[in-house]
Structure 1
Amino acid sequence: MGAEQLTQVVLPGKVEPEGLLIRHGAVPVPGPGQVVIRMEATGVSFAEQQMRRGKYFDQPPFPFSPGYDLVGTVHATGPGVDPDLAGTRVAALVKVGGWASHVAVAAADVVPVPDGVDAAEAEALVTNGITAWRMLHHMARVKAGQTVLVHGANGGVGSVLVQFARLAGVKVIGTASPRHHAALRERGVTPVDYRSEDVPARVREIAPHGVDAVFDHVGGRGVLDSWRLLAPGGTLVSYGSASTRDVGGSKMWPVLKTVGRVMLWNALPNGRHACFFNVWAGARRKDSFRARLHADLTEVLDALRRGDIDAPIAARMPLARVAEAMRLAESGTVAGKVILTP
């Protein structure tokens, strides 16, 4: 049997999905404090959709290998790392580089995956699960009996968010296209068709006094409606700008515009609160960031292991079919996350 070989996807520039390249080379050697993970599952998130358009606000220069997170088995350990970590299944949040058969990661950044948990299901909950958990419990601080609005309730983050909200005893209103309404009702969500219905009017019918929190990944002008739908004391959590994905111009402008609105709204004496969520907030304080990441992802994966939540997976495809996977993820027709396997 021959030596293992590295296979990775490279994003050479602003290209259509078919312009993604497959490259082969030597498996990386872990440096001091590092491990090399043999990837078992990675995924297509909104971040990579922005990156291929050059629209992700802090992406590296082209060319680079995308891939926001991954789950796999520790293949090798570097100097200063416990060699017993080899063979352990772990998850890692990496921002770039995850679309590869082997990925070098700081050992301090990996989180153990519980025994018996499927790698693809764990992968679907790395970025999406941390995002949903933190927004719900750390930013909006929801309580049982409250009502929240989740935009894109069938999406990668939304589908996890509604599950954690229902577990917390929270009533959920979720926007989605009609094809997803039956599945949302099964989760106890009141669905709203964002394509044919007047969303603010419909939400007002369901929650006449407003909602206690809105989770908005859409951005653009629609975030104004999200703010107006808040009840007194409510919280708007903005965590993306999907509506500007295909719009030209500065990649920083949508983020800066949202942050500016958040600052303005929070200066108003109306008892409501707005915030902008970024999973990398506080990353410069490495020790505290890693501790929080480890704690939150452990909560999420333990909930999956217990069966309290499931991991919505839209499709599983091999890395070699990354263009097809990207097209599917960008189609707006799927529920859950598109997973890539070696």
Structure 2
Amino acid sequence: MTRAIEIVLPGVVEPRGLQVRETTVPAPGEGLASVRVEASGVSFAEQQMRRGKYYDQPPFPFVPGYDLVGTVTAVGPGVPPALVGKRFAALTKTGGWASQVVLPAADLVPVPDGVDPVEAETVVVNGITAWQMLHRVAKVRSGGTILVHGANGGVGSTLLQLARHKDIRVIGTASPRHHDTVRGLGAIPIDYRDTDLPARVREHAPDGVDAVFDHVGGPGVVDSYRLLKRGGTLVSYGSASTRDVAGSSQLPVLKLVARLMWWNCAPTGRGAHFFNIWAGKRRAAAFRAKLAEDLGNVLALLADGTLTAQVAARFPLTEAAAAVELAESGTVAGKVVLVPSPAA
């Protein structure tokens, strides 16, 4: 048994309502590995979860934490002992905000030697999401033009870099305070609050864009679809506009998916898809293989310097409340990351 610290979300609370708890982590069983967590991210998913607004979150109370990077400290039967002492990344959905976790060994993806665990953490869920949307869903070719909403965020900033690596031109929306960051990543920044945002986009892409990546949802998704050129693809991957709206966590997503399905069936020559990173999870082996391949590609680009980690801030695990407040403030670019507390 190992003692560990974990952060508990007890219900619909403000960030300061998060609870710090000491717990006991069992020894890993068959096919499992015990991992000392070195970095775990604060994603938009946790911001929704604390409001009870994430589509399929577990019942309260639970430990949040969508992804992590850590070192294997012990393995159970059926797991190669050589994994001990090696660093891995994992997509967890929940449970990552802890100092020690037990995970299926098959879910672990190797982190290249020499890569800082915090930097690696910034491209786990963000990197898989960006890679799969760009290359598996939209399939944008070199020379194309895309529009990325929230270009300063974790997924957005990763998308910018992956696109530029493939010689894809990028227009990115962000608040003016982040325009230098967006520009520095090789994209054309546009104020997301512009009263005629479609017109600003058309100044740079008169015939429309090859793909739009939209995490906002709401009424603005109509403009996203209309900005596509023939043969273009809208990839919607969230409903951030309804984060603070009271009511069902599922209804906004269901309405969005229904609209996308309608568009996708319309004879317009344009595609519309809702991206769900967990699609195909029922076929566990295929899902894990695709995830490992895609995350492996992203981590390799981070290791060779093609990607630059966008770390907004690092907070000790026990200061998760402050980390969430900063992540939700809208004042940072990149990802806020939790690291081990000094006493952990």
TM-score under structure 1 length normalisation? 0.98
**1:40 aligned counterpart, secondary structure:** strand
Picking from 325, 329, 339, the partner of 1:341 is: 339
Q: Deviation of residue 107 (structure 1)?
A: 0.4
Shift of 1:206: 1.2
- 1:254 maps to which of 247, 252, 255: 252
User: What's the CA shift string for 1:80-134, capped at 9, x where partnerless?
Assistant: 1111211110000010000000111000000010000000010000000000000
User: Aligned partners of 1:327 and 1:100: how far apart in 2?
Assistant: 18
Alignment pair present for 1:34 and 2:32: yes
The residue number in structure 1 matching 2:90 is 92
Q: Which aligned pairs between 1:1-342 and structure 2 lie closer than 5 A?
A: 5-342=3-340
Higher mean C-alpha displacement, 328-337 vs 3-12:
3-12
- 1:164-197 residue CA offsets vs partner (Å, 9 max, x unmatched): 0011111100000111111222222111001245
Give the whole-Å Cα distance in 1 for the aligned partners of 2:104 and 2:184.
40
Distance, in Å, in 2 between the alignment partners of 1:171 and 1:308 is 16
- The alpha-carbon deviation at position 25 of structure 1 amounts to 2.0
CA distance in 2, matches of 1:29, 1:254: 41
CA distance in 2, matches of 1:158, 1:52: 22
User: What secondary structure is seen at the aligned counterpart in 2 of 1:161?
Assistant: helix
Distance (whole Å) between structure 2 residues aligned to residue 245 and residue 108 of structure 1: 33
CA contact (8 A) 1:314 1:338 kept: yes
Q: Check conservation: 1:28, 1:102, Cα contact below 8 A.
A: no
Q: TM-score, normalised by structure 2?
A: 0.97
Distance, in Å, in 2 between the alignment partners of 1:160 and 1:254 is: 26
One-letter code aligned to 1:65: V
Cα distance in 2 for partners of 1:138, 1:80 equals 33
Q: Would you say the 8 A contact 2:138–2:235 is kept in 1?
A: yes
Aligned residue type for 1:129: G
Cα displacement (A) at 1:27: 2.8
In the alignment, the residues of structure 1 paired with residue 31 and residue 182 of structure 2 have an alpha-carbon distance, to the nearest angstrom, of 44
| CA RMSD in angstroms, aligned pairs only | 0.9
Say whether the 8 Å CA contact 2:25–2:102 is kept in structure 1.
no
Distance in 2 between residues matched to 1:205 and 1:300, nearest whole Å: 32
Contact 1:32 1:80 in 2 (8 A): yes
Shift of 1:273: 0.2
CA distance in 1, matches of 2:23, 2:16: 21
Identity of aligned residues (%): 65
Gaps of 5+ in 2: none
SS class of match (2:13): coil
Match of 1:57, SS? coil
Displacement of 1:42: 0.2
State the one-letter code of the partner of 2:240.
A
In 2, distance between residues paired with 1:125 and 1:187? 15
Q: What is the CA–CA distance in structure 2 between the aligned matches of 1:13 and 1:96, rounded to whole Å?
A: 14
CA distance in 2, matches of 1:294, 1:196: 39
Specify the SS of the correspondent of 2:154.
coil
- Which one is further off, 306-315 or 20-29? 20-29
| Number of aligned residues | 340
